[in-house]
Structure 1
Amino acid sequence: MNARQNEQEGFAALVLRLRAEGITSKELLNAVELTPRTLFAPSPYENDAYSQRLIPLDCGAFMEGFDFAVRLLHCLAVKPGQRILEVGTGSGFTAAVMGRIAERVMTIDRYKTLVVNAQKNLEKSAIRNVIVRQADGSVGLAGEGTFDRILVTTAFTALPRIYSDHLVSGGILIVPIMTSETECRIVRLTRTGSRFDREDLFTAPYLPIVPQVASFL
């Protein structure tokens, strides 16, 4: 099976699984279909790009399973014209999908290796409205104003106030929270004025955030 056939079959199987969960957003699924995941998976794992397995990346990071990544984006509900912040770039895949819908996406990671590789992946995908930056995700993103949507893909031990302050009224923050030493859950915060509505969604494979920029990786 060639790469294109693998992409087509992998996407078709995903659509069937997501429909069973009630996820049918044409805008999101079109963006996913236009973003070949094989361009973001390391070459030894290209055949697993459309699977539900975790795929190892450099620096101890990983790509989420395909279904999990799309489920996260469904919960984030990205709309055209929005400004998005992603904390935890990884391979760049989720940023690329969001970039096909939103006006502008900024994605940050503490590891220079991941930032460089993600930038290359985005260039291969012809995505031009995603900015990749090396930064310490534990301290927020000073000087960048507010965002309509924020996706965090590294776990905090408590709700990070610094990111809720980056959120506009009507905005949505998706963040993994450690509920015990071994369990992590995805939490969605929706801001309305000064009020935040919290929803606990589902378990996640993320690890606690590590502060500071990595100097050598």
Structure 2
Amino acid sequence: MSVPYPRSDERRRMVDLQIAARGVRDPGVLAAMVEVPRHLFIPPPYDRDAYADAPLPIGNGQTISQPYIVALMTELLRPNPADSVLEIGAGSGYQAAILSLLVRKVTTIERIETVAARARANLAAVHADNVEIVYGDGTLGYPPSAPYNGILITAATPIIPEPLKAQLAEGGRLVAPVGSRSVQDLVVIERHGSQFPEENHGGVRFVPLIGEYGWSEE
């Protein structure tokens, strides 16, 4: 993804003022946030506000998370270049594009077929060639590529789905917004055998995770 994209000054300001200033320190995460053109993952007219610190609509009732939250969740995952990472909720593909610069392979699952198609096109446009997009129920994970060194859930889940815990590698980390449909806590678990110690990183708000181990459509 070493292609220069427009609006680079806006991305640098976004990283300096919204992300680094709020405590995100991982240099790889900061560099990825500068490199990936967020505006290409947001449909008009919302793309004009792409570098504001706010979630924005991407269609089909879905949103792209605010840049700070994307950076924070990525840092909490502690990505390494050799890692294989699973993302639940591809959305427009932006989070997967960030991860693609930091890990060996990204598998991202999207339950809405038209959204998955747009994510595929967006990721191709930025040459994120190490991302695989799967259409299906993200709460079930994707066993063919398991185990994963990291799992990132980008929608609000009432619990951490058991299939995802089972697909997490030893020592792997899972980051997820866990709680009600309206408000959640940003939770990190780490696998140590059959134990999954948990950290809480404060309140967040995400769209609900729909699926067998998530919320119903209603």
| TM-score relative to the length of structure 2 | 0.89
Q: How many residues align?
A: 208
CA contact (8 A) 2:156 2:205 kept: no
Residue 207 to residue 38, structure 1, CA distance change in 2 (3 Å): closer
CA distance in 1, matches of 2:39, 2:23: 26
Q: Name the amino acid aligned to 1:198.
A: E
Residue 33 to residue 10, structure 1, CA distance change in 2 (3 Å): closer
Question: How far did 1:73 drift?
Answer: 0.9
Question: How far did 1:22 drift?
Answer: 2.7
Matched, 1:165 2:188: no
CA contact (8 A) 1:7 1:38 kept: no
Runs of 5+ unmatched residues, structure 2: 213-218
Worse overlay, 6-15 or 133-142: 6-15
Corresponding residue number in structure 2 for 1:207:
207
Corresponding residue number in structure 2 for 1:197:
197
Partner of 1:56, secondary structure, is strand
Residue 40 to residue 181, structure 1, CA distance change in 2 (3 Å): closer
CA distance in 1, matches of 2:181, 2:132: 33
CA distance in 2, matches of 1:92, 1:9: 20
Partner of 2:120, secondary structure, is helix
CA distance in 1, matches of 2:72, 2:101: 17
CA distance in 1, matches of 2:140, 2:20: 37
Corresponding residue number in structure 2 for 1:183:
183
Worse overlay, 67-76 or 11-20: 11-20
Matched, 1:48 2:49: yes
Corresponding residue number in structure 1 for 2:216:
none
Corresponding residue number in structure 1 for 2:79:
78
CA contact (8 A) 1:79 1:102 kept: yes
Question: How far did 1:173 drift?
Answer: 0.2
Q: Name the amino acid aligned to 1:84.
A: V
CA contact (8 A) 2:151 2:174 kept: yes
CA distance in 1, matches of 2:134, 2:181: 30
Partner of 1:195, secondary structure, is coil
Question: How far did 1:31 drift?
Answer: 1.6
CA contact (8 A) 2:177 2:184 kept: yes
CA distance in 2, matches of 1:172, 1:163: 11
Question: How far did 1:161 drift?
Answer: 1.7
CA contact (8 A) 2:64 2:92 kept: yes
CA contact (8 A) 2:63 2:207 kept: no
Runs of 5+ unmatched residues, structure 1: 213-217
CA contact (8 A) 1:10 1:51 kept: no
CA distance in 1, matches of 2:10, 2:62: 26
| TM-score relative to the length of structure 1 | 0.89
Structure-to-structure mapping, 1:87-106, within 5 angstroms: 87-106=88-107
Identity of aligned residues (%): 28
CA distance in 2, matches of 1:72, 1:145: 21
Partner of 1:169, secondary structure, is strand
